Amino acid sequence: FAGTDFAFGRGRGGDIETINRIGASVGIDAVSVPLLVDANSAVISSTRVRAALQSGEPDLAASMLGHDWAVTGIVQQGDQRGRTIGFPTANIPLGALLNPAFGVYAVQIFEAEAGGDFTCLGNGVANI
């Protein structure tokens, strides 16, 4: 699935029809879907979502995504400063993920369980 404005390759010369023509011999096909737009008829795109996050507008990003932006990661040991201030902390490196604007964010913490379920451990703050 791809939006009607999808293009790929050199000079953006490939499109849905290109994929269908080339992919037919190996059982690959692509379907074009209408672009999503917001209340102002502006196209919702991954570029706009990333820009909203990078400019410190997580509510705008969430309105375009249809849900809050989320990250997953494995907690790594840090300097254990949380113990000295009376608040537990979790260090989760973002790695190659998009870094949102610097700031303090309200967060919910979930733990992954076997089978793909999650248990909410509580609310917290994230300092980026």
Integer angstrom CA distances of residue 67 from 32, 47, 64, 115, 128: 23, 17, 8, 22, 20
Each residue of 8-27: pLDDT tens digit?
Answer: 999 999 999 999 999 999 99
- Residue 92: pLDDT above 90? no
Cα 17 to the center of its chain, rounded Å: 28
Q: Which residue has the higher pLDDT, 112 or 88?
A: 112
Structural domain boundaries of the chain? Answer: 1-35, 36-69, 70-128
**Helix segments in 55-112, DSSP class H:** 58-65, 82-85
How does pLDDT run across 63-87, given as a tens digit for each residue?
999 999 988 888 888 888 888 888 7
This prediction's pTM? 0.72
Structure confidence at residue 106 as a pLDDT band (50, 70, 90): confident
Which has the closest alpha carbon to 95: 80, 73, 77? 73
DSSP structure class, residue 37: B
| 3-class SS of residue 124 | strand
